[in-house]
Chain A
Amino acid sequence: MNILGKLSINALPHDMVTLGGAMMMIVAIIFGIFYVTYTKRWSWLWKEWITTTDHKKIGVMYIFVSIIMGIRGFADVVLLRTQQATSVGASHGIVSANHFQQIFSAHGVIMIFFVAMGFLFGIVNLVLPLQIGSRDVAFPFLNATSFWLFAAGMVLMNASLIIGNFTYAGWLSYPPLSELKYSPGVGVDYWIWSLQIAGLGSLFSGINFLVTIIKLRCKGMALMKMPLFTWSVFGTMSLVILAFPILTVTLALLYLDRTIGTHFFTASGGGNMMMYVNLIWSWGHPEVYILVLPAFGIFSEVVSVFSRKRLFGYRSMVLAIWAIVFLSFIVWLHHFFTMGAGVDVNAFFGMMTMIIAVPTGVKIFNWLFTMFRGRIKFNASMIFFLGFIFLFTLGGVAGVMMAVPAIDYQLHNSLFLVAHFHTMIVSGVLFGDFIGVMYWFPKIFGFKLIDVYGRVAAYLWIIGFVVAFGPLYILGLMGATRRLDHYPAYTGWQPLFIVAGVGVFIIALAVLFQFIQLIVSYRKRNDNIDITGDPWDGRTLEWSTSSPPPFFNFAILPEVSNRDDFWEKKQRGLNSNNKEYTDIEIVKNTPIAMYIGSAACLFGFSAVWHIWWLLILSLIAVIVFIMIRTTDEETEYILTASKVAEIDKKVQWKI
C-alpha cells in the first residue's frame, strides 16, 4: 500500500492551460511571500490579522479572499466564453471537453461558495456587531475558526488546480455522474471536501450571528427597532442553520458511496440518485436566499440613507423577509420539474415558487417608495441599485416563467436558465455586495472611496451585463443547452456567443474601474478622510462610533429608544451625556483558529487522496487544538476603564 494513498507524480498538470493557471497561481503566492518579507510585515500580519478575533478584521479577510477568488472565477469565465465563441463546427476550441467541464464546475463553486458567501460573511462581520451596538460577536473565537475553515476550503479547492483535478460533473455534481464508476478521479472528492470544510465554517457563522443578534443587541433595541440589515441577517442565519446540515450529510453520503462502496445514490445496487437531487436542492434553494437576503438588507439601508428618508413599510419589509425564509424551504423541487414527478407535486412546487415573487415584489415597491418624496443622491451605490431594480425584476420575470412546470420543460437546463440565475445573482447579490463595500468602506478604513470611478464601474457593469447575458436568453430559446463545449455551425449560435464574449470584456473593464477606484482612493486617502465617523449622514448605530472604530467598537455601549435612533438623535441635537467608562472584557488574539483551519485543510487533502494515516493525524490535531482552547482559562483580558477612556479621548481628539 502506498504511503501517499492515490497521490503520485501523475497528479501534476499535463495540459498547457492548466499548467499556465497553476504556474500563475504559484507565481502569485511566491510574489506575495516575497512582498511580505521585503516589507518586513510578517509579524504585523501575524499579530494584526492571522491571530485576530476582531470581527472587523475577520470581515476584511473574508472580503480579501473573496476578491482573490473572484479574480480566479472571472479567469474561468474568460476561458468558458472563449471556448464557446470558438468551438464551432470543425474547430473544437481551446480546451478539451473534460477540461471545459472542470472549468465551469469550478466557476460555479468558486463564485457561490468563495465569492458570494465570502462577501456575505465579510460584510455581515464588518457591520452587524456595530449596527446592533455590540462590542463583538457572541463567540469571537468561533468566528475566527469559521473564517479559517472557509479559507481551508478555499485552499483545498485551489490545490486541485495544481495537484490532481476538479469535478467535471457541474457545481452540484449529480450522481451517478459523480459516483466512482463515472468519475473515478479525485475531482469529485476535492469538490466534496472543499465544500464540506467551508460549509462547516458557514454553519458555525450561522450559529454565531444568530446568537449575536438575539443576545447582544444594545439596550432598548427591541426586535422591531432593529435596522433592516440586521433583520435580513437574522433571516439569513436561520436559513444557514437549517440548510447547511443537509449539505453536510448529502456530501458525506456521496463520499461514502465513493470510498467504501455504499449505495446511497448509485445507479444500481438499490441506490437512488433522485434522493441526492432532492437533498442537494433542499440545501441549494435556501442557499440562494442565504445569498440574496443580506443584499436586500444592504439595499434597505443604502436606499434610505441616500434618499435621506425613513425606510418605507418597515413592517412589510420584516414580514417579507420571514415569508421568504419560510417559502424558500418548500420550493426546492422546481430545480427538477423535468425529472418526471407527478402532476400534483410539480403543480404544488410551481405555485409555491411563484408565491415567493410576492414578498420580493413588496420589497421592491417599498424601496421605490422610500425613494418617493425623498432626496435621492445619485452616487455609485444608487446607480448600482437602479441597475438592480431593472435587471432583478426582468430576471424575476424569467423566474416566474420557469416556475410554471409546463414552461420549465422548455427552458430548464438551457442557457435561458443560466441567464436567469446569473441575472438574479449578479444584480441581486453581487451588486448588493458592491454597494455594501462602498457604503461601509469609510467605516472600516477611515476614508471614503472616490465616487466617480464607482459610477463608471456601475454603468459599465450594467451595460456589460446586458451585453453578456442578453444573448444567453435568446440562445436558450434557440435550444442551446448549458455546459456545451462545442456546437455545430448550422445552429447559427456563434454570433450570439461572440456578443456574450464582448459583454465579458465590458464587465472586465468595469472590474478594472473598481480596482482603480480602490487604488486611487487609497493613494489620495488624505483628501477623503472621514473624521466624523458619519460620512453619509447615516441613520444606524455603526455611524455613531469613529471611523475606523476602536477595537472594542464602542467606548460606552449605546442605548436606543427608536428605530433609526442615531438619526433621531442627530435631528434633536446630539446629547453626549455623562461618560462613565467601564472595564471591558476583550478576547485575546490566538493562532489556534488558524491551526484548526490548517489541520482541517490537511484532513480534507488526505481524505481526497486516501492518505489514511495523515487523515487520522490531522483529525487528532483538530481535536487537540480544540481541547487546548477549551481548557485555556485565560482567553480574555480586562481593558480597564481608564484605558478605555484614554483610547476614546484619542479618537475624539482625532475628530
Chain B
Amino acid sequence: MKKTLRFIFITLILLCVAVFGTMFLLHGKNIAVLNPKGLIASKEKGLIITVCLLISIVVVPLFFLTIFTAYKYREGNDGANYSPEWDSDPLLEIIWWAIPAAIILVLSLIVWHTSSTLNYYKPIKSKVPPITIQVISLDWKWLFIYPKEKVASVNFIEIPQNTPIDFELTSDTVMNAFWIPNLAGQIMTMPGMETKIHILAYNKGTYYGVSSNISGSGFAGMRFAVQVSSLKNFNKWIESANRSSNILTMTSYKKLAKPSSYNHKKIYSLKDTGLFNAIVENYMVPVFGGPIMLTDSKG
C-alpha cells in the first residue's frame, strides 16, 4: 500500500514536470522575455541564461544528492551505513559555505557590472540620432508625446527600428510601471517625478506594452501597441499624424486625463510642446509657502 502510493504519486509528480516542460516549449515563440526584439531585452535574456547556468552548479548536484540520500538511507535499507552520532565535519561544512559563496561572488560581480551597463538612465550609443518620447501614465491609459516631431498618441507608439529611443516618463495619477517585455524591462512612473529608459528595437513588428503596477480599476486595460517600422514608414506615420484633426493642448489634455478605461489608439497633433514639464511641475506646488524640491535620482 505504502509503496504503491509512493509509486503512483512520484510518477504523477514527474508527469507534471514533463507537462510543464511541454507547455514551456509549446509556448516558446510566445514567451516575450525569451524572444527579445531589441537591444536591452536581448542583453537581459543573455543575463537570465548566464545566471541560471551559474546557479545550476549548486542546484543540480544538490538535487541528485537529495534523491540519492533519500533513497539510500531510507528506513529498512539495512545495508546502508547508520551513524546516528555523526553530526559535523568541518571540511564538508566549509565546502558548502565556500562553494555557494564563490558562486555568489561571481554573481555579485555580474550584478555590479550589469547594473551600470544595463542602466536605463544611460543613453544608447548609436550613429542614428535618438528620438525622444515623453510618457505620461493617466487613469487608465498611456499618453505618448513626441516633442520634436510634434505628435502625440494614446495607447500606441510607433518607432523606427535600430534607432535609440529616449523615453522620459512621469505620471499624472498614481504610480504605474512602463513595460514592453519584447523590448526592455520595466520602469516606474510617478507623479511629480521623471524617470528614464533608453531602448533600441531590432526587429520590425507589433509588440505590446503594459502597466505592471496596480493603479486602480482600469489597470488591466492599460495595454498599448508598439509598432516597430522602417525609418521611411515611421516618417510617413509622423507626417500623417501631424495632419491629424485631434489637437493636443493643455485644454484637450485635461479632458483626456479624466478617468477612462480600455481606451483605443488615438493620434494627436501636438500644439503644446511644454506639456510634459508642466505636468511634472504641477505636483511640485509648495503648500506651506516655501519651495519644496522633489528630486529624482539621476542614476
Contact = CB atoms under 8 A, between A and B. Distances in A.
A274 B212 CA distance: 17
A337 to B, nearest CB: 9
B220 A312 contact: no
Given A365-B96, A373-B86, A483-B214, A466 B74 contact: no
B69 A406 contact: no
Interface stretch (B58-66, B125-133, B238-246): B58-66
A171 to B, nearest CB: 10
A488 B81 CA distance: 59
Contacts of A338: 177, 185-188
Interface stretch (A41-49, A174-182, A230-238, A435-443): A174-182
A522 interface: no
Interface string A475-506: 01111011111111001100010010000000
B216 interface: yes
B217 interface: yes
Interface in B155-182: 173-175, 177, 179, 181-182
Interface in B135-154: none
A269 interface: yes
A308 interface: yes
Interface string A319-342: 000000000000000001011111
A404 B214 contact: no
For chain A, the bracket of interface size reads 35 or more
Interface in B201-255: 208, 210-221, 223
A407 B16 contact: no
A470 B25 CA distance: 13
Contact of B185 (A366, A369, A409, A463): A409
Contacts of B174: 174-177, 182, 267
A270 B69 contact: no
Given A338-B185, A361-B100, A407 B47 contact: yes
Nearest to B21: A470
B107 interface: yes
A354 B111 contact: yes
A373 B83 contact: yes
Interface string B75-98: 100001111111111001100110
Interface stretch (A32-40, A115-123, A199-207, A386-394): A386-394
Given A101-B214, A273-B190, A338-B186, A358 B101 contact: yes
A495 to B, nearest CB: 8
Given A357-B104, A376-B75, A393-B63, A485 B23 contact: no
Interface in A243-300: 263, 267-270, 272-274
A97 interface: yes
Contacts of B210: 479, 481
A368 B62 contact: yes
Given A314-B88, A375-B75, A407-B44, A477 B23 contact: no
B184 interface: yes
A341 B297 contact: yes
B259 to A, nearest CB: 10
B59 to A, nearest CB: 6
A354 B23 contact: no
A402 B128 CA distance: 33
B216 A182 contact: yes
Contact of A168 (B20, B115, B216, B296): B216
Interface in A181-205: 182
Given A368-B66, A376-B75, A485-B220, 12 more contacts: A98-B217, A168-B217, A174-B213, A177-B175, A312-B89, A338-B177, A340-B196, A343-B121, A355-B108, A378-B74, A404-B107, A462-B13
Interface of B: 1-2, 5-6, 9, 12-13, 16-17, 19-20, 23-24, 27, 30-34, 41, 43-44, 47-48, 51-52, 55, 58-59, 62-63, 65-66, 69-70, 73-75, 80-89, 92-93, 96-97, 100-101, 104, 107-108, 110-112, 114-121, 173-175, 177, 179, 181-182, 184-188, 190-192, 195-196, 208, 210-221, 223, 282-288, 292, 294, 296-299
Interface of A: 96-98, 101, 168-170, 174-177, 182, 263, 267-270, 272-274, 307-316, 336, 338-347, 350-351, 354-355, 357-358, 361-362, 364-366, 368-369, 371-378, 386, 389-390, 393-394, 397, 400-401, 403-414, 452, 455-456, 459-460, 462-463, 466-467, 470-471, 474, 476-479, 481-488, 491-492, 496, 499
